[in-house]
Amino acid sequence: MRYGCRIKAGALPSIRFGPQLRADLEAVLAEGETLSSFVETSVRRSVEYPRIQSDFHARGQAAWEAYQRTGLSHPVDEVLDKLRRKTAARRSELEARSKAK
């Protein structure tokens, strides 16, 4: 167990913070969002981030090793064009979803 801390399933320890931070937190809550749900989402993202970073670095290392073995690479313009197309497609998908709601 990390840091010798035992946490019950489904519960996080109480968090104490000053009135200014509470006001700042409440100012950014989405409509219908509670402080508890905001904290839960933040904790989930904080737990997920190192895994995403680790996966990213592993893919980069694998790509570098493949390049060293094969010498094959892709022109930067080709890669950026592909990323732009993927981003545009995802943006369109999200816009269509938000219009459907």
Measured distance CA(78)–CA(83) in Å, rounded: 9
User: For the chain, how many helices (H) and strands (E)?
Assistant: 3, 0
- Comparing 16 with 12, which gets the higher pLDDT? 16
* CA angle (92, 94, 99) in 5-degree steps: 95
pLDDT tens string 28-73? 999 999 988 999 999 999 999 999 999 999 999 999 999 999 999 9
Measured distance CA(99)–CA(20) in Å, rounded: 36
* pTM of the model as a whole: 0.57
Binning pLDDT at 50, 70 and 90, where does residue 8 land? Answer: low
Q: Which residue has the tokens 């938000």?
A: 98
For the chain, the domains span 2-70, 73-101
